[in-house]
Amino acid sequence: MNRLDKLFANKRQDILNIYFTAGHPKLEDTGKIIQALEKAGADLIELGMPYSDPLADGPTIQQSGQQALRNGMTLPLLFEQVQSVREKTEIPLILMGYFNQVMQYGEQRFFDKCVEVGIDGLILPDLPLYEYEKFYKEMVEQAGLGISFLITPQTPKERVRKVDELSRGFIYMVANSSITGAKGAITEKQLAYFERVSALKLSNPRLIGFGISSHDTFATACRYANGAIIGSAFIRALDGAEDVEKATAGFVKSIRGIEASV
């Protein structure tokens, strides 16, 4: 059983999935942040592969990616960093990135490398269901990797079922149709969407992401799904932090609703 399956077998509630961009703020922070997140009680980590043209991302994640690339981040280096931190941590790690990078690395080679270094799953937001099923599903499943597809408030019911059929690990529920980094409270309309999807009794667990930025929004999302994903808000907390490990611990506490100890 891979680490992702193990997590969901043991825990169905309040799952905290944190996204950050590999190689940001500093090139060597990747491993440190992963360990600090595990220690602070995150359940799952989504590691962003920095990309020059991240279409679905807002300014915060865009800038973190630009910074990481300026720092010298590359995919081979990212794999090295993961491999070396994997010896020290058992937290499930998901790679998130745009499909062009996978193509350039070589699809089969990429999936194999993920398994070799200890990656547990993938999120490739611009890989369409059709192309996935036709060209890559077999490779990903043979490799034993998880893969999460996205649904949005506009995704028709039939397509949600298709996403459930193809996803392995969890379904990524985009909270509202937007790029990443939205802030603010969760609206009635979004709650209705969460309930609508909940009623479909899907086979995969669901994590809600995009616009989850605080203890309140996290707690609300957890009432309607198995957990939630936080990205931009965490990256903002890392930006300008003197000590990324401390900043990470403080951030996770603030989301879980435990007072940060002074």
152 near other proteins, rule: CB under 8 A: yes
Residue 101 to residue 57: CA distance in whole angstroms: 16
Single out the residue of 13, 82, 18 nearest to residue 212, CA to CA. 18
130 near other proteins, rule: CB under 8 A: yes
- From the list 29, 38, 43, 46, the catalytic residue is 46
CA 163, 175, 227, 53 torsion-angle sign: positive
Q: How far is CA 178 from the centre of its chain?
A: 16
Q: How far is the CB of 142 from other proteins (least distance, A)?
A: 23
Is residue 46 flagged as an active site residue? yes
Residue 36 to residue 91: CA distance in whole angstroms: 11
Single out the residue of 35, 11, 20 nearest to residue 84, CA to CA. 35
As given in the structure block, the two tokens for residue 159 are 């397509």
Q: How far is CA 133 from the centre of its chain?
A: 21
Q: How far is the CB of 74 from other proteins (least distance, A)?
A: 5
Is residue 38 flagged as an active site residue? no
Contacting other proteins within 55-114 (CB under 8 A): 55-56, 58, 62, 66, 69, 74-76, 98-105
Residues 59 and 235: beta-carbon distance below 8 Å: no
151 near other proteins, rule: CB under 8 A: yes
Coil, helix or strand at residue 47: strand
Q: How far is the CB of 123 from other proteins (least distance, A)?
A: 11
**Closer to other proteins at the Cβ: 59 or 257?**
59
53 near other proteins, rule: CB under 8 A: yes
**Closer to other proteins at the Cβ: 111 or 251?**
111
- From the list 43, 57, 120, 164, the catalytic residue is 57
DSSP 73: -
Q: Are strands 44-48 and 93-96 parallel, antiparallel or unpaired?
A: parallel
DSSP 168: B
Contacting other proteins within 153-172 (CB under 8 A): 154-156, 159
Residue 174: exposed, middle, or buried by beta-carbon count in 10 A (0-12, 13-18, 19+)? buried
**Closer to other proteins at the Cβ: 118 or 181?**
181
128 near other proteins, rule: CB under 8 A: yes
Residue 181 to residue 157: CA distance in whole angstroms: 26
Q: How far is the CB of 71 from other proteins (least distance, A)?
A: 13
254 near other proteins, rule: CB under 8 A: no
Q: How far is the CB of 5 from other proteins (least distance, A)?
A: 24
**Closer to other proteins at the Cβ: 78 or 255?**
78
> Residues interacting with other proteins, by CB under 8 A?
51-53, 55-56, 58, 62, 66, 69, 74-76, 98-105, 125-128, 130-131, 149-152, 154-156, 159, 174, 177-179
Catalytic residues: 46, 57
